[in-house]
Structure 1
Amino acid sequence: MTSPLTPLSPVVLDTAQAHARLHEFTVIDVRTPGEHASGHLPQALNIPLDQIRRALPEIRDAADRGSVLLVCASGARSESACALLAEEGVQAATLAGGTNAWAADGHELRRPAARDTRTVWSMERQVRFTAGTVVLLGLLLGLLVHPAFQLLSAGIAGGLVFSALTNTCGMAVALGKLPHNRPRAADLDATLAALRAR
């Protein structure tokens, strides 16, 4: 009888540690395709966070062959991806501060040719825009139509507090499902094929 998998301890690397060992890693960027196109670590493959389970066999094989480094914008999504992989017995590291810290420390970010990309705001910017729009809409409708519409604004405020306390973001998850944030099936299949070939 096999024993249940025990969760692995997370490995968190700062930018200096990750930069010094970058050649050892299979780097997986768990941001949306648009965010990845806006600038990513050299050799980073794009597998959005909500596709990690689909890519689990390929990531497991990559981890068996060497080290895996997960990256996002700030480190929050890559930490979530590391936890998800750890539950499946796959060891991976995460980059503290994500690509924001990487760029702030002067390390190179790669960008595809302009003709190969579509411009998409970062997820953080999309969340700020959406939350601000709903708050303003709730206040405006509350003044012009009915005071009950102000509950929209209160709901967003409560969601932002909850997001900060839990270091999660339901709005980012919902926005990540919009078509402009989703990888085309062929792109994800090509990424998984590239991961298998490493």
Structure 2
Amino acid sequence: MSAERTVQSITPAVLHKLTEEGRAPRLLDVRTPAEFRTAHIPGACNVPLHVLREHRAELLPHLDEDVVLVCRSGNRATQAERMLTEAGLPNLRVLDGGMNAWEVASAPVKRGPERWDMERQVRLVAGSIVLTTGLVGILVPGVHLVGTAVGAGLTYAAISNSCAMGVLLSKLPYNRGPRTDIGMAIAQLRGAR
């Protein structure tokens, strides 16, 4: 049996202090461009997780050993840390609690146009399906089972820390924002230092 690897993290307070002292590490935000555009840490570079996954070998020469990975809560940043570590980049850290914790700590945030975050969108869609099928189920026997299936999906999403509905909603144009390609990501990384 192999020992489980420990992901190194950094708290929002420590990262904020380093930033204020002019010793900020490179900040790599792995959220979607739409999420990044809504709110991000000043100075962060946006390299969405799917771009990182597909082009990590091309990105490695543009990253140094002092990198903090950022996402909304820490889950995607942890995935990115694993990928980059496997590709040979040492000493990566994940922002503990992600942007959620960064904002709770009242650290500086560069804001763009407001949009609903994915969790809120999932709650709206799931709740609407359950409500609609519950009401229609009064007249049409069996329709309520659709709501039951959505409830089962949400339960599985909580247990597995994954969300199929969120993945589907993230594909909508509203949630994608401008497309980030590898050239744009590399240009952003070059300009950040």
CA–CA distance in structure 1, aligned partners of residues 49 and 170 of structure 2: 9
| Runs (5+) with no aligned partner, structure 2 | none
Q: 2:48–2:180: 8 Å Cα contact kept in structure 1?
A: no
Q: 1:148-159, aligned counterparts within 5 Å?
A: 149-159=143-153
**1:88-103 to 2 correspondence within 5 Å?**
88-91=87-90, 92-103=92-103
**Aligned structure 1 segments of 4 or more residues deviating by more than 4 angstroms:** none
Aligned to 1:175, which of 169, 173, 179?
169
Q: TM-score, normalised by structure 2?
A: 0.81
> Which amino acid in 2 is paired with 1:171?
M
Partner secondary structure for residue 186 of structure 2:
helix
Deviation of 1:54 (Å): 2.9
Residues 26-85 of structure 1: per-residue CA shift (max 9 Å, x gap): 21222222221221111112222232213413542244x231111122222222222333
Aligned length: 186
Q: State which of 12, 16, 28 in structure 2 corresponds to 1:15.
A: 12
Contact 2:72–2:98 (Cα < 8 Å) also in 1: yes
TM-score of the pair, normalised by structure 1: 0.80
SS of residue paired to 1:165: helix
Sequence identity percentage = 37
Cα distance in structure 2, aligned partners of 1:127 and 1:90: 34
Indicate the SS of the match to 1:69.
strand
2:140 is aligned, of 132, 141, 145, to 145
**Structure 1, unaligned runs of 5 or more:** 1-6
Q: Distance in 2 between matches of 1:129 and 1:144?
A: 23
- The 5-angstrom pairing of residues 21-100 of structure 1 reads 21-22=18-19, 23-63=23-63, 65-91=64-90, 92-100=92-100
Assess, with a 3 A threshold, how the Cα gap between structure 1 residues 90 and 144 changes in structure 2: closer, same or farther: farther
Q: Give the structure 1 partner of residue 115 of structure 2.
A: 120
Name the SS for the 1:53 alignment partner. helix
